[in-house]
């Protein structure tokens, strides 16, 4: 993989694809951390990994169906 930074006028400037890659990296890391923290937090209440997964998947399903109904 090539370096996505070019040098112009004495400073390093990110190209457009490099900015997009950095933003994608930060979004994916933050969503992974948030999902993990909520799963561990809810495991303290429910005391079952199965119930935590069921709750998260049902919440995700409800949100996706709501947004699909709103945009149809």
Q: What is the pLDDT of residues 14-24, one digit of tens each?
A: 677 888 888 88
φ/ψ (deg, to 5) at 25: -65, -45
pLDDT of residue 1: 44
pLDDT higher than threshold 50 for residue 33: yes
Please give the DSSP secondary-structure letter assigned to residue 72. -
Each residue of 38-62: pLDDT tens digit? 778 888 888 888 888 898 889 889 9
Spell out the alpha helix ranges (H) of the chain: 16-46, 49-70
């Amino acid at each position: 993989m090539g370096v996505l930074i070019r040098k112009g006028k004495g400073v390093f400037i990110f190209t457009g694809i490099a900015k997009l890659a950095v933003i994608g990296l930060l979004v994916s890391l933050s969503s992974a951390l948030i999902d993990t923290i909520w799963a561990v937090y809810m495991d303290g209440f429910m005391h079952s990994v199965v119930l935590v997964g069921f709750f998260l998947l049902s919440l995700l399903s409800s949100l996706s169906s709501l947004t699909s109904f709103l945009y149809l």
